A and B are shown apart, each in its own frame.
Chain A
């Protein structure tokens, strides 16, 4: 027992025993709640037998004596810890301040409507901000082309290297493996009809029109979209972007444009590599699994290709690059205040750019069918 209460009527003694360090806070609080609420008169706190008295438990004791008695209790301390004076002063200061106003209570329906309203307003302002960002980029683009030095070749080269060159191994590997999988599963089905050779058509069209560019874009969104958001976000947190603005430089021109431009250049090139690796994967599987020799594979490949097949895939790459680059940099520029924001917005950047890429791909698919491309 940390506390024991003795006495009756108007004269009470509170004996404080044992360990009163911070570790004992929980039990002190528990025992304080068990004290009778209707004490009045005088109370003597005897600290003689309390050990290792910490500040926290004493503070909680003072608070609860103050609250329970509502001022009808004269408290005296015998052999108090040296921190008592400080705590009593702090408590007096605290009571001098007015109590915080109670939280306005509202019904659940009101709250739900309020939340909905806040969400709508938030979406509205977000949409406006995104359009504003797009507008700022376009004005910077116009200025930049009238002043080619603003293209910053060294920065552009660095970003092409980071987003493009270093992505070659992973993009190649994934394109190769996916096309092997498609060819393998396709062969299982087609060989039932003795139509093994059409595996070549399947791989060619799937890889060149869709898989090559889509997979590359998704990988790049994961790699570079997140990197853009994180890099620019940390610069925002360090006030580096503010410093650039204060020196009369435009962070959009310096940070955003080189990244987007680099991606627009790098993504089509990566797509070509992915296409090549995909076809190689298809060819290898046809050779090993279906025993189609390489000359026959390439002959069939040429027959199945229409002049537009390759371009139908490649033309999408710069569009995807724009989407990924803009979402990544935009989310990075939105980072304010905290490390958690950085994480949240980086996540959003990746999720949103992958979603937009796939959504745009669907639009392209419909468009190409309509115009018979």
Chain B
């Protein structure tokens, strides 16, 4: 896209997040371009989830600006904020499916909230959601507690896609999955990314997922973000990054 270079989807400038005296982000900058899969990595406690919550507008940053599609999250009316929230999809680490609703009802939840649709359309859209993420049709009537971990992740993705977002945030999409399910999820993500022309922001610790799917990677080190292509990261000599991309597990993932 022509506009992608000078008009990033997400632009973060000088972000500061503190918890008491503990500084999590200290002047973090980040740009996410249209139609890329951007991976966010960092050590435990480096502030990946805090960053995600800030990007989603669930947390007010202590300083700095967050712009999504050119709109500053701080100067936004309630109505604008709701419109923005509707334009992106999110999956949470544990799925966060509503446990008292069936999978189909979970997918239909945002649709029911924002559009007046007939039951017939809702059923068709739930079916579409399920088949997009590769879940069998009989999953529709099941409750989240009856699903395996991998199916929960897929159902959560179907719910995140229900409002047809252009921007997708995924928090640890493959954590807790066996390698086969995780690999299948990677392929699904790549396929949907290419077919639906999504911009994907993904927090992940899964090196295989990182190497397979991400076009650019951002590493949070000491409260700041270092962004580079995957090849660039592999050559980076910063100690933590080097350790991360050249540790025993990383080598296995690269050559595997």
A90–B128 CB distance below 8 A: yes
User: In whole angstroms, how far apart are the Cα atoms of A100 and B197 in the complex?
Assistant: 32
A100–B125 CB distance below 8 A: no
Q: Which A residues are in CB contact (< 8 Å) with B121?
A: 25-26, 29, 56, 60
Q: Which B residues are in CB contact (< 8 Å) with A48?
A: none
Q: Which A residues are in CB contact (< 8 Å) with B164?
A: 21-22, 54-56
User: Is B99 an interface position by the 8 A CB rule?
Assistant: yes
Q: Which B residues are in CB contact (< 8 Å) with A94?
A: 127, 131, 137
User: Is A85 an interface position by the 8 A CB rule?
Assistant: yes
User: Is A116 an interface position by the 8 A CB rule?
Assistant: no
Chain A 317-356, CB-CB to B under 8 Å as 1, else 0, gives: 0000000000000000000111110000000000000000
Knowing A94-B131, A94-B137, the reply to whether A340 touches B117 (Cβ < 8 A) is: no
Q: Which residue of B is nearest A64, CB measured?
A: B124
Chain A 53-81, CB-CB to B under 8 Å as 1, else 0, gives: 01110011001000000000000000000
User: Is A247 an interface position by the 8 A CB rule?
Assistant: no
User: In whole angstroms, how far apart are the Cα atoms of A86 and B191 in the complex?
Assistant: 9
Q: Which B residues are in CB contact (< 8 Å) with A25?
A: 115, 117, 121, 125
A29–B100 CB distance below 8 A: no
User: In whole angstroms, how far apart are the Cα atoms of A338 and B195 in the complex?
Assistant: 35
User: In whole angstroms, how far apart are the Cα atoms of A54 and B144 in the complex?
Assistant: 27
User: In whole angstroms, how far apart are the Cα atoms of A338 and B106 in the complex?
Assistant: 14
B128–A337 CB distance below 8 A: no
* CB proximity of B101 to chain A, nearest CB, Å: 9
User: Is A113 an interface position by the 8 A CB rule?
Assistant: no
A337–B99 CB distance below 8 A: yes
Q: Which B residues are in CB contact (< 8 Å) with A339?
A: 99-100
Partner of B100, one of A56, A63, A336, A340: A340
Chain B 97-126, CB-CB to A under 8 Å as 1, else 0, gives: 001100000000001000111101100110
Classify the secondary structure of B's interface with A.
Answer: helix
User: In whole angstroms, how far apart are the Cα atoms of A183 and B143 in the complex?
Assistant: 55
Classify chain B: how many residues form its interface, as a range. 20 to 34
A55–B137 CB distance below 8 A: no
User: Is B252 an interface position by the 8 A CB rule?
Assistant: no
* CB proximity of B160 to chain A, nearest CB, Å: 13
Q: Which residue of B is nearest A344, CB measured?
A: B100
A338–B143 CB distance below 8 A: yes
Partner of B145, one of A21, A86, A338: A338
* CB proximity of A295 to chain B, nearest CB, Å: 61
User: Is A4 an interface position by the 8 A CB rule?
Assistant: no
Q: Which residue of A is nearest B144, CB measured?
A: A338
User: In whole angstroms, how far apart are the Cα atoms of A338 and B191 in the complex?
Assistant: 33
* Interface residue ranges, A against B (CB under 8 Å): 21-23, 25-26, 29, 54-56, 59-60, 63, 82-83, 85-87, 90, 93-94, 97, 100, 336-340
Which 9 A-B residue pairs are closest in the complex by CB-CB distance? A340-B100, A338-B99, A337-B145, A86-B195, A90-B131, A59-B128, A29-B121, A54-B164, A56-B125
Q: List 29 A-B contacts (CB under 8 A).
A: A26-B115, A26-B116, A26-B117, A26-B121, A29-B117, A29-B118, A29-B120, A29-B121, A55-B164, A55-B196, A56-B124, A56-B128, A56-B164, A59-B124, A60-B121, A60-B124, A86-B195, A87-B128, A90-B128, A90-B131, A94-B131, A337-B99, A337-B143, A337-B145, A338-B144, A338-B145, A339-B99, A339-B100, A340-B100
* Interface residue ranges, B against A (CB under 8 Å): 99-100, 111, 115-118, 120-121, 124-125, 127-128, 131-132, 136-138, 143-145, 163-164, 191, 195-197
Known: A90-B132, A337-B99, A338-B145. 8 other contacts (CB 8 A): A26-B118, A29-B118, A56-B164, A59-B128, A83-B196, A86-B132, A90-B128, A340-B100
